């Protein structure tokens, strides 16, 4: 009996779901996107509650096994389906990849997502320029840490693309595509351009996310065609 495809529960415009879908694509997986969260509901159903008691996305189902938390799912997929490449065999290189995944969630993601909500997810007439500038400054200051690190490396865990680049790569796409003034970060920009050459990044990360809440909502609803 053929093995059932992995299910990724979430929505393709979610900042936490995008890295999981990108990782699945990089692993060349046969997977199904089960639309959930936001406009698609499903989080309050008994089926979803059994998989994830937090009733949040993303959630993964691999046969009888369920898993939640975005970065944990990325690690699982890369360890199971791309061991020795996306999940480095060398324990120190793997630890560095893991380190930057953690850093992405604790340091880079917060100011960038706040900046995103203060711009794209806020109606133009309600935007506060001082708050936007504050978030932009916070994001730029955090990314200067990555900028220094990338002086010596093509990717975050060395000179090969790994799981460590995935969550952070999704974050920087939003940062570089919000209409704000940004300081020059040449090493980070070069790394970002390398990511932009990847088919899976183009397909799942490089999305036009609109310029206001109405456009965002319309794009998310239209993404229903991508799910199961």
For residue 207, the domain's CATH number is 1.20.1050.10
**Residue 85 β-bridge partners:** none
Residues 117 and 198 in one domain: yes
Residues 80 and 191 in one domain: no
Q: What percentage of the chain exceeds 90 in pLDDT?
A: 93
Look at the chain and report how many structural domains it folds into.
2
**Quick check: is 110 in a domain?**
yes
Q: How far is CA 101 from the centre of its chain?
A: 10
Query: At residue 228, does pLDDT exceed 80?
Result: no
**Tens of pLDDT along 70-102?**
999 999 999 999 999 999 999 999 999 999 999
- Measured in degrees and rounded to the nearest 5, phi and psi for residue 60 equal -110, 140
Query: At residue 1, does pLDDT exceed 80?
Result: no
* The pLDDT value given to residue 3: 66
Single pTM value for the model: 0.95
Distances (CA, A) of 105 to 66, 108, 115, 131, 174: 22, 6, 15, 21, 14
Query: At residue 2, does pLDDT exceed 50?
Result: no
Residues 96 and 33 in one domain: no
Residues 42 and 56 in one domain: yes
Task: Determine the 3-state secondary structure of 87 from DSSP.
Answer: strand
Query: At residue 226, does pLDDT exceed 90?
Result: no
Element (H, E) at 210: none
Residues 136 and 40 in one domain: no
**Tens of pLDDT along 166-211?**
999 999 999 999 999 999 999 999 999 999 999 999 999 999 999 9
CA distance 6 to 130: 44
**Quick check: is 188 in a domain?**
yes
Residues 80 and 120 in one domain: no
**Quick check: is 47 in a domain?**
yes
Residues 174 and 221 in one domain: no
106-117 average pLDDT score: 97
Residues 10 and 32 in one domain: yes
Give the domain range for residue 204. 91-211
Calculated CA dihedral for residues 207, 213, 218, 224, nearest 10 degrees: 60
Residues 75 and 107 in one domain: no
Residues 112 and 201 in one domain: yes
**Quick check: is 26 in a domain?**
yes
Query: At residue 128, does pLDDT exceed 80?
Result: yes
Q: Write the CATH number for 58.
A: 3.40.30.10
CA distance 113 to 173: 11
CA distance 182 to 31: 37
CA distance 193 to 185: 12
């Amino acid at each position: 009996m053929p093995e059932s495809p992995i299910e990724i529960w979430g929505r393709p415009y979610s900042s936490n779901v995008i890295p999981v879908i990108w990782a699945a694509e990089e692993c060349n997986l046969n997977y199904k996107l089960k639309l959930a969260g936001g406009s698609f509901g499903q989080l309050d159903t008994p089926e979803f509650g059994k998989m994830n008691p937090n009733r949040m996305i993303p959630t993964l189902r691999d046969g009888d096994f369920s898993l939640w938390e975005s970065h944990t799912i990325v690690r699982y997929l890369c360890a199971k389906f791309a061991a020795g490449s996306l999940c480095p065999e060398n324990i120190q290189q793997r630890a560095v990849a893991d380190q930057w995944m953690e850093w992405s969630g604790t340091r880079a993601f917060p100011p960038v997502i706040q900046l995103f909500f203060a711009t794209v997810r806020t109606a133009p007439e309600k935007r506060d320029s001082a708050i936007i500038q504050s978030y932009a400054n916070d994001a730029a200051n955090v990314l200067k840490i990555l900028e220094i690190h990338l002086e010596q490396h093509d990717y975050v865990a060395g000179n090969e693309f790994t799981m460590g680049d995935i969550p952070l790569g999704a974050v920087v796409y939003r940062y570089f595509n919000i209409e704000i003034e940004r300081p020059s970060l040449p090493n980070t920009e070069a790394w970002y351009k390398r990511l932009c050459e990847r088919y899976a990044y183009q397909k799942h990360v490089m999305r036009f996310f609109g310029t206001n809440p109405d456009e965002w909502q319309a794009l998310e609803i239209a993404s229903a065609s991508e799910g199961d």
